[in-house]
Amino acid sequence: YKRQELDVFLPLTWSDDSLLFADVRGSLGDTGNHEGNWALAWRRITAENRIVGLWGSYDLRESPTGNHFDQAAFGLEILSVEKEFRINGYVPSDLAPKHLAGGPATAVISGNNLVVRSDGEAAYWGMDAEFGKLLWFNDPYEEKADAWYGGLDAELRAFVGGYYFDNPESTFEQIAGPRVRSELRLYDLAMLGDGSRLTLEGLIQDDQLRGTQAEGGVYIRIPFGAGPRRRLDRLQRRMVDRIVRDVDVVAHRQTTEEAAQFADSGLAVSSARIIDAADDLSASVAAAGTNSLVIVDGSAGAFAESDTTTLNAGQAVLGGGSTLAVVGAETGTQVTFTAPGARPTVNGTDTQQDVFQIADDTLLG
């Protein structure tokens, strides 16, 4: 998986000890995953030579499946020359699963319920945090006798942290695990001028859902506009570090189940059961209750009934092999349910009694 990212870092107001800036990002992935992030951030240098920062953003994602997700994201960061800590949060606007267009969908009996089963994709809320430390640096203005790197303005930093993402739908598993990464930074490159940077990043993370993932990245910062009046010192250039965050709206695909509704009436299917010749037909239909689905399976032989089977309000009674149009209660996915089993034979043993009695909003098929 490859991704190209453009990040515009735009200072809005900058004093000796504070900075307000906008951070606008866009990315394109070769799998069809596209992202956009629009952030506003503030940083301030404290009397203890630390930087405290706050940011908030609106994020938009088009996944490879064509679904769109958006979220609000925010973060807190504490930076110094040698150490740093950050924590970020992500809150999607919609956590409901979205059906994958063109994907297969079926209606099945699960437990005592009729559900629509399909491939779905949902956004996750979550958070991540990390602690970082400077491992090595080189100051080109200090004497480095015969060192090949003596002219480089460089730093090596390491980070350790973790992440947790979840969705309230029970069918979607949580995504949580550790993350470690490193950055080698080269500052004020001769060919790009003061304020430029080249950053080489490596990252490894692991969770129970996606397994172990490794990433590598190359970031080049090119300054535009009027040049600085002087080079930034080591703390000041931390003021213009890029915001470190998960740029994705975290989403995941998996098989989902949602409650089914009768397509014709729009009523929710309250329960579903299968009966055969060993059951009392009229008693079973009565016990199923209103808005229920009863499948009459003829595989075990013919039914012999001496009384009338009266359908409850909103109820459907189907023979094995019959079909029924249903929709998903959440996504509106339309599915044709095929009743399991064989077509039944129902014999009325009392000629004075009707075998079935139906009413409005009921179905006998």
Amino acid at 322: S
- Give the angle subtended at the CA of 183 by the CAs of 177 and 186, to the nearest 5°: 165
**Mean predicted lDDT score pLDDT of the chain:** 91
Q: Strand pairing partners for 105?
A: 118
> Other C-beta atoms within 10 Å of 332: how many?
11
Are 36 and 18 in contact, with CB atoms under 8 Å apart?
A: no
Per-residue model confidence as pLDDT tens digits over 12-57 = 999 989 999 999 999 887 666 789 999 999 999 999 999 999 999 9
Are 261 and 284 in contact, with CB atoms under 8 Å apart?
A: no
Q: Is the pLDDT of residue 145 over 60?
A: no
Per-residue model confidence as pLDDT tens digits over 233-255 = 899 999 999 999 999 899 998 88
Q: What pTM was estimated for this model as a whole? A: 0.78
CA distances from 347 to 197, 301, 305 (A): 85, 11, 6
Query: pLDDT at position 126, please?
Result: 98
